[in-house]
Amino acid sequence: MVRKNQTLGEFIIENQAEFKYSSGELSRLINAIRLAAKVVNHEVNKAGLVDITGAAGETNIQGEQQQKLDVYANEKFIQTITNREIVCGIASEENDDFITIQGQNKDNNNKYVLLMDPLDGSSNIDVNVSVGTIFSVYRRVTPMGQPVTKEDFLQPGNQQVAAGYIVYGTSTMLVYTTGHGVNGFTLNPAIGTYYLSHPNMRFPKTGNIYSVNEGNYAQFPQGVKDYIKYCQAEEGDRPYTARYIGSLVSDFHRNMIKGGIYIYPKSKKATKGKLRLLYECNPMAFIAEQAGGKASDGFTRILDIQPESLHERVPFFCGSEEMVNKAEEFMQKAE
């Protein structure tokens, strides 16, 4: 049952029966994510007052310079979830390899693995622009009681049991799905409680916003160039409005509410795309489909792609269904 303004805790308890594997474990995991998000949110809101902005001086597995808040958020989420022994393994965009979590008896009978991008868009922190956290949950495929293997993490997105994101913006929101629609909860910072503010979130069938880094236009495939020109043409309800924040969570969140498409294609510089399949594209695609939207790599449904490595990258087209369909048409014509 969905009642606006109920707390996230009440919502989890009242709706966990919808989940066919319900044993309380997934509910505990969502609660742990909720707690870690509050800790990270507190630190994000202090940016500029304490030494938490800027580069940390390290690079991650992708060769990207880590920001101090990347490292902080990664540590806090891993620490919070590990201490509760809710999952048997964690994979993070910021870590080279996955983490095996063993119980007190050196085994682990937990059912789930967690994959996450602990702080998406962290380079925006220095200029006070919204950032976020993305997470994804799968049932393990290896036998319980044994250490997890890479096989547990390299599952196609259609096997996700839950996914969500937290956006740290003008207000802090946690948006998630367990395969029964998408609901958004806003944090009341005065008492530290999330309340259901956006029940049954849905993508409009179409929209008038396109989100793409047009600074890379010359590097884009012809199909993307043609679609951008289509968006800019004066015809019917066009030209569309260009809106690009540079934080996937923020761009996705706006487009889900207002209607739009987010595109991060491959380019001559990033021949396989830039966004990570496991930590960004799969969870966002799951949320999009649960909200009536669509996500693809320009040709194939994102959730049907079989991952081959933990840090695999793919092109990403995501948003209102009719807009993604139109973008795919241009991609196929150009091929």
SS3 163: strand
**Residue percentage of the chain with pLDDT more than 70:** 89
- Residues annotated in a binding site: 93, 117, 119-123, 213, 244, 274, 280
Q: Which fold has domain 8-198?
A: Fructose-1,6-Bisphosphatase; Chain A, domain 1 (3.30.540)
Q: Where are the domains of the chain?
A: 8-198, 209-334
Could you give the CA distance from residue 288 to residue 280 in angstroms, rounded to a whole number?
A: 12
Number of H helices, E strands in the chain: 8, 15
Question: Tens digits of per-residue pLDDT, 55-78?
Answer: 544 555 555 556 678 888 999 999
Known binding-site residues for substrate equal: 120-123, 213, 244, 274
pTM as predicted = 0.92
User: Could you give the dihedral angle defined by the CA atoms of residues 119, 122, 124 and 129, in that order, rounded to the nearest 10 degrees?
Assistant: 20
Class of domain 209-334: alpha beta
For residue range 143-191, list pLDDT tens digits in order: 988 899 999 999 999 999 999 999 998 899 999 999 999 999 999 989 9
Residue 209 and residue 253: Cα distance in Å, rounded? 12
In the predicted model, is pLDDT for residue 47 greater than 50? yes
| Residue 107 CA: distances (Å) to CA of 23, 79, 142, 261 | 19, 18, 13, 44
Are 47 and 69 in contact by the 8 Å Cβ rule? The answer is yes
Q: Could you tell me if 35 and 61 are in contact, meaning their C-beta atoms sit under 8 angstroms apart?
A: no
What residues are designated binding site for Mg(2+)? Answer: 93, 117, 119-120, 280
